[in-house]
Structure 1
């Protein structure tokens, strides 16, 4: 079984992927998948699915959705008769699958391993980080509903995705692939113009490819944008990078790339 939360919520069983049409059933799967292997209480499920809306009989409504979800989860699966991965437990429900069956958990594992390898084996870090990013099929928990659990988890996944992309750029710079890093960073800066770390890395990549003037111009553009949109000055890391490029600091030519402070 494989459950997707990095994009539209879906489940694959017996080698076949199943989309889930009913919104509440899809939301229920998402909440349970985020806590795969752990029980989620009736109260927490109700809060996620109905967000405080008055409901006549919560238990009956949850039971009806659980029945529909079981039909999807058990479709095409080989398991002993009468067993199911969606278990009713005291006070709630439990999705009885290993955490690795959920793509979000696999992504977080690859992200952590890639970050750990970054400073010692950047080539291996690139493999791990790319594998993690390849799992994404759209915005996290795209159609999981507006419940606080799913929206909070989606925000955390999306932020971690940006951090992984940052780590991947650092790994590319560490192996001397500055030209490719420039191309990727231009897209990231365009998408996230106020994220100073992407700007700082692009300045470094431009400098290493012989484009010092472009790197300095990028700093000034970013400084104006931060002032106009947020009323703040660039952070100390970005300012320091600007100073290093102005002075052509020899350390900028090294393959190591410091983490953000």
Structure 2
């Protein structure tokens, strides 16, 4: 059995080689919250907050219990041998989902990235293969379509940061093995999407320099120095490096290993999720407005992400205040 958080929360049945179909968005949100604390009890109050926020129904406890019961039954149907030892059980004041760490895709991702980091300096080619395999585990934004509560929001932010760091390491490995010409376009797109990440910009400048494009490399470095006050696009080739905040999703292209197509080595790949920009949509060729459209999409995604983060923080502070006020009243009494 595989449990997934690198994308929409989900369950994959290794035996049947099929995903377990979850019956409702609330069930997906519940699964995501339990997977964030895999093997650790999650209190009922936290789960209610993850599923309903400040709009919990009058009998939220009963509604939560019904969702838990349905999810437990689906897990048993996928693993009949565990009917007497279900994975999802009551423990203390909450619920716990039991699984081995290696059954969670985020653990697999971290293990492969850790191995790649150890190899990066000594064997960048092997490190690149591991990083491509790790990034291939992603099926979309972490915990996409699950809970927007503080528990899952914080976990999704941590995972996204780890994904971007892995992309930086992959670009580093590609530069170390002399793939600077192939990685330039990828880095241009990454700089467009993540202008605040200096490492992508430094890597782009280095790749351009190694390609003999000294003037463009200097322009990228000047852009980094004046990023705060200058929002004029820097053009490198047919791609404009825009200083606009935002984020690429799992369709960000991964530098290819030379000869990989005929090497017989299987490398995990991902299809673009519905509604995500394809690689070609990120290129601003002559006479097109692809980059302007992408810039606007990126801006909308950033504002949406900020709104969710602020909402989660507001919910957390509200819950904290609600816990403290009764305590003070008891003390004063």
Question: Fold-level match, TM-score > 0.5?
Answer: yes
1:180 matched to 2:182: yes
User: Is the contact between residue 30 and residue 147 of structure 2 (CA under 8 Å) also seen in structure 1?
Assistant: no
- Give yes or no for the alignment of 1:160 onto 2:152: no
Q: After the TM superposition, which residues 70-149 of structure 1 pair with which residues of structure 2 at under 5 Å, given as runs?
A: 70-149=72-151
Listed one character per residue, the Cα deviations across residues 196-255 of structure 1 (whole Å, up to 9, x for unaligned) are 2111111011111221111001222343433246xxxxxxxxxxxxxxxxxxxxxxxxxx
- Give 1:5's aligned residue: 5
TM-score scaled by length of structure 1: 0.81
CA-atom RMSD in angstroms: 1.8
Q: Counterparts of 1:132 and 1:17 in 2: how far apart (Å)? A: 20
CA shift for structure 1 position 83 = 2.8
Report matched runs for 1:1-261 at 5 Å. Answer: 1-13=1-13, 14-228=16-230
Measured in 2, the distance between the counterparts of 1:166 and 1:123 equals 15
**SS class of match (1:82):** coil
Query: 2: CA distance between counterparts of 1:16 and 1:117?
Result: 34
Normalising by structure 2, we get a TM-score of: 0.64
How far apart are the structure 2 equivalents of 1:208 and 1:170? 13
Aligned-residue offset at 1:194: 3.0
- Number of matched residues? 229
Tell me how far apart the structure 2 counterparts of residues 111 and 214 of structure 1 sit (CA, whole Å): 31
Q: Which runs of 5+ in 2 are unaligned?
A: 232-333
Maintained 8 Å contact 1:9/1:19: no
Structure 2 distance, partners of 1:39, 1:121, is: 41
Give yes or no for contact 1:139–1:158 (8 Å, CA) kept in 2: yes
| Cα shift at 1:54 | 4.7
* Unaligned 5+ runs, structure 1: 230-261
SS of residue in 2 equivalent to 1:84? coil
What CA distance in whole angstroms lies between the structure 2 residues aligned with 1:105 and 1:19? 22
The structural deviation recorded for 1:80 is: 4.2
